[in-house]
Structure 1
Amino acid sequence: MHPLEAGEPRTIGTYRLLGRLGAGGMGRVYLGRSAGGRTVAVKIVHPHFASDEEFRARFRREVEAARRVGGEWTAPVLDADPEAAVPWVATGYVAGPSLDRALAAHGPLPEASVRAIGAGLARALVAVHGLGLVHRDVKPSNVMLTLDGPRLIDFGIARATDGTASLTSTGVSIGSPGYMSPEQILGKGITGAADVFSLGAVLAFAATGRPPFTGDNSATLLYKVVHEPPELGELPAGDLRDLIAACLAKTAADRPAPEAVAAALAGALGAPGWLPAALVEEASRAAARYTCSSSSRGNAQARAAARRARSG
């Protein structure tokens, strides 16, 4: 978390901002706290989007869609104001490192952890797709590792699968190079299968420490995603590699459904020690520091979750 700088807001709605968590193509994300003491993540859009009525309408729809997703494997939407001078949305704060930061600090994850992450994300996609939505930006920085399992965050560019509004009209890139599906890159129709492709890329990254497609520039990278096979040489042969390869099929119809991925990885989250000890400690510190930090009950819950993550 970064301290607030001069010119940044100190409050959004009824939430007091504690620091800046990050920034992206659509806006900035802050750590905040409600009047009742609940820790939240508050996302505000960039001011230049606020005057775009098409963007506001899309943001309004996306907030309502995200409310319906729930919070079992995602960050639940708690509050929002699409009509504010600068629209914002508050979600439950997910205590733990993102997958990309976890690997930067600790290296590739063991197979048990990769399986557990895959199981949790597949279940998240089952819920998302069941509502007719597509996340569109499944990538390591949008996967959080918590004591109770992985969480998929940031539905900022999700929209109904039958939506017609185009984010490119406001200059926002849809998806992230290296994790986008071929059909996203080619501008073809997007279905839930695009998220499955991204899930496969995320799991390959988690297992090896590198994405399955690499390039010196965006053009080369995007060409490889569309035309070349994924680089899975560092993945040992076995059913996990086969599953990841199936998710990375070039043709959407050839990829497994999220339900099939979840079934193939069933039981992974219940396995003892699904999260490495170093990451358990990191997630535990985050939970104790930010989640219900004024409550001894909150700290007790964090300790109990840490024990479950260690022992299964």
Structure 2
Amino acid sequence: MARLGQGGMGTVFLGRSPGERMVAVKVIHAEFASDPTFRKRFTREIEAARRVGGFHTAAVVDADAEGEHPWLVTEYIPGPSLHDVLKQHGAMPPRTLNSLALGIAEALEGIHSCGIIHRDLKPSNIIVSTAGPRVIDFGIARALDSTSLTRTNFVVGTQGFLAPEQLAGQAPTPASDLYAYGMVLCHAAGAVPFPDGETLESALELLPSTLVDVITRCLKHDPAQRPNCTQVLERLTRIRQKSDDWLPPPVRTMVDFHNAPTAR
């Protein structure tokens, strides 16, 4: 029905199933499709992604790793990306940040429980929906590792969200996702990118006091000192802030706009 966007692995289209469900169809680029090792790893990742459930991820609907052009179909989640929300409206208020923190941590907990590492958690991979934040593209980036596609200047992940160990060339772990999680919340709070001369410590002062401890621990240089998702959730649920609507009115309008074409 439409083209939603294009990334490093392929192009994503908006589609409609025979049952009138809206879906996102990701078609892999030909340069990757021609590599048999990539296809094998892509198959394994599809199988793993099918196991990921929960309220905060996009479910896999169908896939084909063996066709001329490998493809993956997930449910379509109507809503803007967190990247687009921040670009248009700037830093989010505390109640929104707390809901983002809980929803994204719950999504990562489900992803990690299936033995999957996201590897590219960032605002553009988080959809802001009426039901809360939804994490997309989980685990698929792993299919690019250990294949002939790995080449000079090709990095799995996004600068600014990569953990120190990833920048050092080490294999990512679930703790690497927690570092990216902390950076996502810093972006959502307007704490990064840092103004000239500002340090991380001073930037963290822009965060709600309820999140400073969790995010500081997530951004530890040593991955062994970072909390896991369960520990993050245990900490955040103790300080949950009740709110009738987790989104500010301008962002709610933005989300409603994305829902309108789906209703038609």
| Per-residue deviation, 1:279 | 1.4
Aligned Cα root-mean-square deviation (Å): 2.5
Q: State the AA in 2 paired with 1:52.
A: D
Shift of the 280–175 alpha-carbon distance from structure 1 to 2, 3 Å rule, reads: same
Find the counterpart in structure 2 of residue 193 from structure 1: 175
For residue 128 of structure 2, what is the aligned residue in structure 1?
Answer: 145
Q: Deviations over 1:19-56 (max 9, x none)?
A: 11111111111111112211000111111111100110
Deviation string, structure 1 residues 224-261 (Cα, Å, up to 9, x no partner): xxxx8566255157231222111111110111111111
Relative distance call for 1:195 and 1:67 in structure 2 (3 A) is same
* Matched residue type, 1:245: T
1:170 deviates by 6.0
**Gaps (5+ residues) in structure 1?**
1-17, 215-227, 295-312
CA contact (8 A) 1:76 1:92 kept: yes
| Structure 2 gaps, min length 5 | none
SS of 1:85's partner is coil
For residue 206 of structure 1, what is the aligned residue in structure 2? 188
AA at the equivalent of 2:91: P
Distance 1:237 1:129, change over 3 A: closer
Q: What CA distance in whole angstroms lies between the structure 2 residues aligned with 1:230 and 1:278?
A: 30
Question: What is the alpha-carbon distance in structure 1 between the residues aligned to residue 186 and residue 148 of structure 2?
Answer: 28
Is it true that 1:257 corresponds to 2:238 in the alignment?
Answer: no
| Alignment pair present for 1:243 and 2:214 | yes
* Offset, 1:142: 0.3
Distance in 1, matches of 2:159 and 2:6, equals 17
TM superposition score normalised by structure 2: 0.90
Letter in 2 for 1:287: N
CA distance in 2 between counterparts of 1:167 and 1:256 reads 34
TM-score by length of 1: 0.77
Opposite residue 250 of structure 2, the aligned amino acid is: A
- Among all aligned residue pairs of Structure 1 and Structure 2, give the percentage whose two residues are the same amino acid: 43
Which residue of structure 2 lines up, in the alignment, with residue 280 of structure 1?
Answer: 252
1:287–1:239: structure 2 CA closer, same or farther, 3 Å change rule?
A: same
- 1:281 partner amino acid: T
Structural mapping, 1:112-191, within 5 Å: 112-155=95-138, 157-159=140-142, 165-166=146-147, 169=150, 172-191=154-173
1:143-177 CA-to-partner distances (Å, cap 9, x unmatched) read 111001100001253449xx973585267521100
**1:255 partner letter:** R
Q: Find the counterpart in structure 2 of residue 54 from structure 1.
A: 37
8 A Cα contact 2:111 2:138, kept in partner = no
Cross-structure match for 1:6:
none
Distance 1:86 1:135 in 2: 23
* Cα distance, 1:211–1:118 mapped onto 2, change above 3 Å: farther
Q: CA distance change for structure 1 residues 274 and 79 in 2, over 3 Å: closer, same or farther?
A: same
Asked whether the equivalents of residues 137 and 174 of structure 1 are also in contact (C-alpha less than 8 Å), the reply is yes
Number of residues paired by the alignment? Answer: 261
User: For residue 46 of structure 1, what is the amino acid of its counterpart?
Assistant: H
- Distance in 2, Cα, partners of 1:132 & 1:177: 24
- Alignment match, 1:24: 7
Moved over 6 A (4+): none
Match of 1:298 in 2: none
Given that 2:141 and 2:156 are in contact with CA atoms closer than 8 Å, whether structure 1 keeps it comes out as no
Three-state SS of the structure 2 residue aligned to 1:78 is strand
> How many Å separate the matches in 2 of 1:246 and 1:94?
31
Residue type at the aligned position of 2:243: A
